[in-house]
A and B are shown apart, each in its own frame.
Chain A
Amino acid sequence: MKAGSSYKKREQIAGGFKFAILLLFGLLLITPFVWMVSVGFDRTANVTMPFPPKLIPKSPSSFNFGIVFENGSLLKAYLNSGIVTVSSVFIGVSASLLAGYAFSKGRFKGKKVLFVVVLCTLMIPMEPRLIPLYKLFNSVHLLNTFWPLVLPSLISGMLIFLCKQFFDQLPDTLREASQIDGAGEFTTFFRIYLPLAGPIVATMIILAFIWSWNDFMWPLVVLNSKELQTVPLYLASFSLENGTSLGGLTMALATMSVLPIVILYLFLQKYIIQSIALSGVKGE
């Protein structure tokens, strides 16, 4: 009895200790964000950064945020990123659903070979394709449009792979039943399987969204016009132009670029974390 209670007590202390370490390190991780918001609210930070660092600025003001919005470039960048991301997600997820379904339920010649081709695309990074794709879109006069950002999203080996894995878990008998009723392959897909694919579609949308929203190198290559800059491009050009000279403004801008994503993440955290884990675990 006594041994049991002391064991329990030790467990409790260890548990409290673990909790404290986790909390401490977690706070350390988000310190840059906290500091970012604090400096963003400090008008004087554009001339001299507040030093020593403070949690609450001496004279808090929304001056920097006012400038960020007045300038309008960030809102424009959001709109651009939105157009590119929604279109990319739509065509990427649609094409991958079709292909994933065919690789799971289809019976056709060359299925294995074609699927190996899809898996091979997983190994091809962007860099060796950068210059030929640039030349390709240049030759059809589509540089400085959103087309080069959207069209290549048509193919994603990872999405096809995840989608196939999901359909593999659904029974074939559904298909047979539907076909005895005289439904064709497309009707079967749209009426029977697609409505069951909700969870994987959500995962695919989340992954495709993250990839497209954060894409940087390729947009940097094909977009020169300031008007068309996506959010990461605008941030990078602002940062390279101003260096570390306009602290308050830079941090206000960073805050406004991070905030919507963080809010979205807090609402969808369960699904986002699951999707990331799935893409990692399945890849294994």
Chain B
Amino acid sequence: MANNSIELNVKMEVEKVQSKRKDWGLKWYVFLIPSFLGILLFMVYPVFESLRLSFYQSNGTVENYIGLANFKSVLTSNSFWNSVWNTFYIGIFQIMITIPLGFIFASLINSTKRGQNFFKVLYFLPNVTSIVAAAMIFAFVLHPEMGIVNYVLHAIGLPTPGWLSDPSTSKWAVIILAVWHWIGFVIIICLANLQAIPSEMYEAARIDGASGLQQWFFITIPNMAGTFAFLLITGWIGALQRFNEVYVLGGPNGSPARSIQTMGAFIYERGFTGFEFGIASAATYIMFILILVFTFINLKFSKMKI
């Protein structure tokens, strides 16, 4: 009997606590209202609406269901595949150059005793300026006749390419701009992670007689694998979305001769200069799927904890 009443009491206490928790629960949703309003209106709705639109022929006012015709038309369009090629070409070279170069400079900055902070600030400067302003400057820096790059190339006896005036070199002009703009970011991320490598590892190696270069190869580089994966994937996702600089340098059609039109520019051209919403939505979904695949790989690689 006494036992029962104690049990009853405990039960009542538990219920009290639980009901109090339920009470809290409701309050917590209030905290989430603004963000989830944003998610519903500006994320969930547009993603599904875009999918729907990709099955319609649409110019914004008149809509006709046409099944997979938009996808078919995008996937058989030469200018779409040309934009994919341009996007991949610029992205691959940007990443292949910037990550190793940025890592080397981060290592140098990390190992120098004087002026570490000065170099950090200096190297990050290009990344602070907007890519639009940077593209505007580089149109002159890489100008075939009056630019400083060709002046230097000529002075040391190298051939002077036409850069942005020549479809065969224009992608490299964009790559140079992209490397210049992104390298500061790569250096900052590398430095943060270099400094997180425990110094005991280096001490142990030094005691075993490993040289500086050996330490770099056998301790630093393996420890940076996660950082490289992160930079590779985020860099690649950014590269797939490239638009701003190619728009400033070549307009929506990526002149000269569509040689720097990226997927983003293709979508902009079809969607907002041609108002072919259905076609643009289909192209957008193809790009979205590409980005999703790489983001998943990124999350897998980097073991982000939830």
Give residues in A with beta carbon < 8 Å to B: 14-15, 18-19, 21-22, 25-26, 29-33, 35-36, 39, 48-49, 51-53, 91, 94-96, 98-99, 101-102, 106-109, 111-112, 114-119, 121-136, 138, 151-152, 154-155, 160, 184-186, 189, 213-214, 216-217, 220-221, 231-232, 235-236, 238-240, 243-244, 247, 250-251, 253-254, 257-258, 261-262, 265-266, 269, 272-273, 276-277, 280-281, 283-284
Contacts and interface: CB of A to CB of B under 8 A. Distances in A.
Interface in B183-240: 183, 185, 188-189, 191-193, 196, 212, 226-227, 230, 234, 237
A132 B110 CA distance: 46
Interface residues of B, number: 101
B78 interface: no
A95 B36 CA distance: 9
Given A22-B119, A132-B49, A95 B288 contact: no
Interface in B116-162: 119-141, 143, 145-146, 148, 151
Given A32-B180, A107-B25, A130-B267, A125 B42 contact: no
A130 B271 contact: yes
A44 to B, nearest CB: 12
Interface in B238-279: 241, 243-244, 247-248, 251, 264, 267-268, 271-272, 277
B180 A29 contact: yes
- For the complex, would chain A's binding face be called helix, strand, loop or mixed by DSSP majority? helix
B38 A155 contact: yes
A102 B31 contact: yes
B31 A114 contact: no
B42 A154 contact: yes
A217 B192 CA distance: 31
B148 A35 contact: yes
B24 A135 contact: no
- For the complex, would chain B's binding face be called helix, strand, loop or mixed by DSSP majority? helix
A254 B27 CA distance: 49
A141 to B, nearest CB: 14
Given A101-B31, A135-B60, A254-B136, A112 B306 contact: yes
A82 B224 CA distance: 39
Contacts of B130: 213-214, 216, 231-232, 235, 257, 261
Contact of B243 (A91, A115, A184, A217): A217
Contacts of A251: 137, 140
Given A121-B39, A135-B60, 6 more contacts: A22-B115, A29-B183, A114-B32, A124-B288, A216-B247, A276-B124
B35 A261 contact: no
A133 B191 contact: no
B104 to A, nearest CB: 10
A107 B35 contact: no
B140 A99 contact: no
B75 interface: no
Interface of B: 21, 24-29, 31-32, 34-39, 41-43, 45-47, 49-50, 53, 60, 105, 108-109, 111-115, 119-141, 143, 145-146, 148, 151, 180, 183, 185, 188-189, 191-193, 196, 212, 226-227, 230, 234, 237, 241, 243-244, 247-248, 251, 264, 267-268, 271-272, 277, 280-281, 284-285, 287-288, 291-292, 295-296, 302, 304, 306
Given A236-B247, A277-B191, A128 B50 contact: yes
Q: Which 5 A-B pairs have the closest CB atoms?
A: A155-B38, A154-B38, A102-B31, A132-B46, A49-B146
Given A49-B140, A102-B28, A15 B244 contact: no
A77 to B, nearest CB: 11
Nearest to B29: A108
Contacts of B234: 280, 283
A273 B120 contact: yes
A243 B249 CA distance: 9
A239 B139 contact: yes
Nearest to A123: B295
B284 A235 contact: no
Contacts of B251: 240
A265 B128 contact: yes
27 contacts: A19-B115, A36-B137, A91-B34, A102-B28, A108-B25, A109-B25, A118-B39, A119-B304, A122-B295, A123-B296, A125-B241, A125-B287, A127-B284, A128-B287, A131-B277, A154-B35, A155-B42, A185-B31, A216-B130, A220-B247, A235-B132, A236-B136, A239-B139, A240-B251, A261-B128, A261-B129, A284-B230
A216 B28 contact: no
A111 B111 CA distance: 44
Given A99-B35, A107-B25, A262 B128 contact: yes
B46 A128 contact: yes
Of B39, B141, B241, most buried by chain A (CB within 10 Å of CB) is: B39
Contact of A133 (B24, B46, B108, B243): B46
A235 B140 contact: no
